Amino acid sequence: MATVLAWIGDHPILAGAVIFAIAFCDALIVLGAIVPALPLLFAVGVLIGMGRISGPYAVACASLGAFLGDGLSYWVGWRWGARLYGIWPFSRYPQLLDRGSVLFRRNAFTSILAARYIGAVRPFVPAIAGMARMRLRRYLLASSVASLSWGLLFLAPGWVLGRAYYVVAAVAGHLVIVVGLLLVVLAIAWACVLYTYRWFAGHADSLLARALDWSHRHPVLGRHSIAVFDPSHRESVSLALLAVLLLAIGWAWFALLLAVIGHGEPLAVDLAVHDLMLALRNPLADHAMAALASLGDWPVLAPACTLVLLYFVWRQRWMAAAHWLAALAFGLALTWLLGTTVDVVRPPGASSGFGFPSIAVTMSTIALGFFAVLIARELPGRDRVWPYVVSGVSVAVIGFARLYLGAHWLSDVIGGMLLGIVWLLVLGIAYRRRFNRSFWIKPVAWVFYGSLAAAALWYAPRNVEAKLAKFEPPPPLPVLADLEDWWSHEWMLQPARRNEFDDELRWPLDVQVAGPLAPVQARLEAAGWRVQPQARWVQAMSLFDTDGDPDSVPVLPATLDARTEALLMIRDVPGAHTRYVLRLWPTPVQLQPGDVPLWVGTAQTLHFHHELGLVVTWRPQRGADPALEQVIAPLRNLPHAVAPHPGSQLPVLRVMTDAAGAATPAVMPPRPATPAPGPGAGTDRLPAAAPGAARR
């Protein structure tokens, strides 16, 4: 899929054929049931919003493909009629046509329109219309309206997201990736729990028959297992499911434990995920992930678990209370024992975490999972899966957030999940075998989930700063360099652009400052600039106030090498919706003598934009940017020079604010700025001051 989308972005005209093919295949009978058209068209919509493809052209191609695909399915139904039921796959799965038939019988014209938006029946209703000999003129009218509206609506969400992409991505592009990864993790957790449960439920009878046959052929072992798999027992299906899962997940957990212990160092996947998450750190995601990671802490879990235990004692549900207490107590003991006995290598600079397995993830899995075991048996039929889905999604969120913060290796999180599942399956089997008395689950569910939500809302926001301080990314190792060499030529070794995945986000790094930032801040403030504190989620919500004053909309933070700005300064242009912005980030470079810090940054001109009437934001100006001139003017009395960077051919301002370093006699003599061809030419009109001049 990624290759297809990359090709579409590089060939916007020929992409029409690919969009047509996607929509055409999605509409074909049978084939449409397996083509992932929705995610593909969503991604195409994102490319439209980002300006890679013409919107009307893409809509026309998608609508035409859907119209012709439906037409071919209509012809197949007209040509073969009821004989389709005798052709595979309909001979094996007649419900594929039956679902569409039910919809078609209710209202033929409306069904053509509605089926376009219902994935389960979309490829089959046109064929059913042909089988029913629906008049061609009436069918074509309904199909053309359905195809055009489908092309617009299925591309629209991605289109809007693509337009809004630069609202956030232009200053916090990593946030988009973090949110996307979180959604993928949630989708995987939801699908794994839901479809695993449904598969076992659908194959329960055959599994029980095989288990009983095995028990009869092995009387010694079978005598102990037949009670679990006895179909006459009320809970045999659930017990069989729990037993099979226990064997499979227990084997997986012990295999992971052996791999972690035997490897002697972090697994390759652990290092890869840790480095990826470290590279994605950004201020807006940091606070959200810190709050989500707090959901697995004891101040959130303990009140809910305690209230459930007290409820069981009050209602004299002694068996449930005993198993609930055993689940939590022995789970905590097992986790603590493994954490103290299994030595896991931490990465350099890690402040905490990295215990195998993760206690927070393990206890969240046990608490949420075993509560699902307690209440699921009281729910009717297919509803029994939803407590497990809630548990799986919640634990996935906690695990992902802790991975993002660098609190654990991936193997710690997966090991915690598997250990928790193994233990709750053991107790689940024991509880189901010993307890057949039903109870009213609504009060205890309100007690557990309500207290869990209340504790999370109270504790998580208050713990964000402490969590971020605990898991602050380790500083990079210092790189020593000579101050004079930096001034003369090594400034060109600093990156020319911000290291982002999108070319439009790779802003030129056209400012370098050696020394403390206070002198720069003071001179800019005297010239009308002001410091903007880092915007948080509360301030970022003003982006959705399309009627608000531009002055109330903040400039969102940006990152460089997973670090946010050390200094963000703004100057408003009177009478225009324009701002000049200076962003400065720390570097690992320490200039000698004196351990002088080096900062790199960018000067930008931002314009106020409305995006599709949905959000407002400050967007960087494209092309030649006058913001650097606005930064240079207040800093003229500091030693400075301007010259084009060989990597970008754009002018770079370098400034010295360190008095001790500037007073060193051995520092560089005055040098004239050397013009370079291209956009950097002409910058020598700004004199290069001697670093020792204009100091006092």
Tokens of 302: 């303990």
Mean pLDDT over the full length of the chain: 75
Task: Give the pLDDT band (50/70/90) at residue 634.
Answer: very high
| Gap between the Cα atoms of 96 and 124, Å rounded | 7
> How many other CB atoms sit within 10 Å of the CB of residue 333?
10
Task: Give the pLDDT band (50/70/90) at residue 696.
Answer: very low
What number is the average pLDDT over the span 356-365? 82
629 dihedral zone (left: phi>0; alpha: psi -120 to 50; beta): alpha
pLDDT at res. 386: 84
Q: What percent of the chain has pLDDT over 90?
A: 13
pLDDT at res. 691: 37
- Locate CATH 1.20.144 in the chain: 264-470
Would the pLDDT of 135 be above 90? no
Task: Give the pLDDT band (50/70/90) at residue 40.
Answer: confident
Higher pLDDT, 620 or 188: 188
| Gap between the Cα atoms of 571 and 492, Å rounded | 28
What number is the average pLDDT over the span 584-592? 90
Q: Token match 């603590």: residue?
A: 336
pLDDT tens string 226-283? 444 444 554 444 545 555 555 565 556 566 665 665 556 677 788 888 888 887 887 7
Q: What percent of the chain has pLDDT over 70?
A: 66
Closest CA to 584 of 488, 501, 518, 538: 518
Q: Which residues contact 634 (CB under 8 A, 6 or more apart)?
A: 523, 524, 526, 527, 529
pLDDT at res. 208: 53
CATH of domain 264-470: 1.20.144
Q: Which residues contact 618 (CB under 8 A, 6 or more apart)?
A: 553, 555, 556, 579, 581, 606, 607, 608, 609
Sequential DSSP letters for 602-613: EEEEEEEEEETT
Task: Give the pLDDT band (50/70/90) at residue 603.
Answer: very high
pLDDT at res. 687: 38
Higher pLDDT, 412 or 4: 412
pTM attached to this predicted model: 0.65
For residue 639, CA distances in Å to 496, 687, 692 come to 21, 10, 7
pLDDT at res. 663: 41
pLDDT tens string 527-551? 999 998 877 766 666 666 666 677 7
pLDDT at res. 500: 66
Would the pLDDT of 505 be above 80? no
Could you tell me where the beta strands, DSSP code E, fall in 161-213?
A: none
Residues present in the chain in total:
696
Task: Give the pLDDT band (50/70/90) at residue 597.
Answer: very high
Report, in angstroms and rounded to the nearest whole number, the Rg of the chain calculated over CA atoms: 32
